Structure 1
Amino acid sequence: MSRARLFDISTSMNIRHAAALALVGWYLMVPPTIPGTGEVNQGVPLSQWTKRRLFPHNEGCEAAKARLRRDALAAQTQNDAANPRRGRNPELHCVLCKAECVADDDPRLKPN
């Protein structure tokens, strides 16, 4: 096969691959809490998490996740300062801190 023909095939495959990737959206998702405790339910499958927002690109989702985590930790710190005896562990109680960006075609989003 000629070098020009290989280039044409490679280019068309790259364009199709890029087009397929462009169709993928990204969900900013948060886990549910354990009822009555307010603790993050880390054992729940991703298909049961809450979809907060859809983004066209992973970069936007990751930036939103970082802002969400920063704001949630700041609110948690303020809340703990106002109620020092509560002393909640952010790793257990900061649901928004556990947010994840997940591609909308991730197979873990399908119910089992």
Structure 2
Amino acid sequence: MASEEDAADAMPSHIDINDISKTFGDPAQLFQLLDKNNDGRITKEDLQLLLEQFGVPGAASNIVSKYIFQQLDANHNGIIETSDLANAGNILWNLLKKKQSSASD
């Protein structure tokens, strides 16, 4: 299980939060972007691939996607539905803020 601290530490400092915020700000659009095979389900692997597209490298995207998936899978059924994605942008934003504040300490 990935902790918030592990996920924040894994986030790269150079990531473009504005680009991610736009994408993660619309749950329906994000769901379509993540659901590459159109099966109506989002897995941790789908989320990891999207993070890699935004510049989060392999090992870091694995840790961050595990953490975000844990936070979003509200009913713990192993998949993310559209309604679960409403908070995805806030989770990433909080991880980046935590990363920045620990870097300045």
- The answer to which structure, 1 or 2, has the higher relative contact order (CA under 8 A, 6+ apart) is 2
Which has the larger Rg? 1
Structure with the higher strand share, 1 or 2: 1
Structure 1 length-normalised TM: 0.28
Structure with the higher helix share, 1 or 2: 2
